[in-house]
Structure 1
Amino acid sequence: MSPTMRAILGGGLIAAILDLGWAFMLAARDGIGPARVLRVVASGPFGDAMREGGAGASAVGACVHVLLALVMAAVFVLVAHQATVLIRRPILWGLAYGFGLYVVMYWIVLPLRWPERFPNRDPYDVAAALFTHMVLVGVPIALAAARAFRAGAFRGRLR
């Protein structure tokens, strides 16, 4: 497997696991189980009926979640191939990328799907979402890209 593909898979899967773990923890605080969290994820692209589904709907939600994280990782890694400055300081750029992901998800994607619920301006919810996207998603993706650079995926270009 190429270093680029390892960066996408590694960064994306780590980000997916950390993000989902955080979501499960926050939901548990409100008495909501992991299966319901995953069904809500599935309801994004597949409609509100998924919220009432069973194990299959939860599995679809897990797949949707992982696919989104892989796309997020692929975008960063592919852009980093052209702008290798992104992997010079992966923590900084990972935080910045995570902030950008938060803006896209919480101010564009989610309001388009659920305009009655988003954008959410509750300070606690905003802080939790920023932490998730910046620290648990953006940073692991950027670190995976930096590791791929060290493995030769970027052919020595460092701009």
Structure 2
Amino acid sequence: MTRRRLSPSPLSAWLLCGTLDIVYAALWSLSAGGTVGGMLRGVAKGPFGDAAGDWGLGGALLGLVTHYAIMGAMVAAFVLLARHWAGLRRWPWGWVGLVYGLILYGVMNGIVLPLRFGTPFPPADLFKGAVALFPHIFFVGLPLAWLFARPEAR
């Protein structure tokens, strides 16, 4: 019995979701008075420590690589679930995307960021919490669910 390959490729899903999310973060950073480089160096601080904030262009590039590595894990987890749980691809993609986005938000903001940076969860500022929740749902969860729930992906 041959195994049918999911369409589209996980690579294209990774690039799509990663790009949508980082463009959102860049635009949000600019609208809040920050810089894209500063935002990316902030991402690099996660695995490389606070000193990454002073690494200039190198720190920003490491932040971009870190962002896509994290997104790779998020997409890979969804693809593995979709491949091994056929029911996931039959549920309404909107619900699947919403739930997956909420799970991603919970993991990132409820576990990863508090462990690394000591950020409170739930956030004291609900607006900032919504700003962080939005891309997990609309730029990661929903696109993944839509891409892999399409009839040709089953």
TM-score (norm 2): 0.88
Aligned residues: 149
Go from structure 1 to structure 2 and tell me whether the alpha carbon gap of 1:3 and 1:65 turns closer, same or farther (over 3 Å shift): farther
> How does the TM-score come out when normalised to structure 1?
0.85
CA distance in 1: counterparts of 2:86 and 2:38, whole angstroms: 40
Structure 2 counterpart of 1:28, one-letter code: L
Equivalent position to 2:124, from 113, 121, 126: 121
- Aligned partner of 1:14 among 5, 16, 27: 16
Counterpart Cα distance in 2 of 1:83 and 1:69: 21
Q: Kindly indicate whether structure 1 or structure 2 has the higher relative contact order, using CA contacts under 8 Å at least 6 residues apart.
A: 1
Secondary structure of the 1:45 match is helix
* 1:65-87, Cα deviation, whole Å (9 max, x unpaired): 01111111111111111112222
Contact 2:43 2:66 in 1 (8 A): yes
Q: Which runs of 5+ in 1 are unaligned?
A: 155-159
Deviation at 1:93, TM superposition (A): 0.3
In structure 1, give the amino acid aligned to 2:42. Answer: V
> CA-atom RMSD, angstroms?
1.8
- Aligned residue number for residue 49 of structure 1: 51
User: What 5-or-longer segments of structure 2 have no aligned partner?
Assistant: none
Percent identity reads 37
Q: What residue number does 2:143 align with?
A: 140
Q: Can you list the C-alpha shifts for 1:30-82, whole angstroms capped at 9, x where unaligned?
A: 21111111111011011000011111111111111011111111111111111
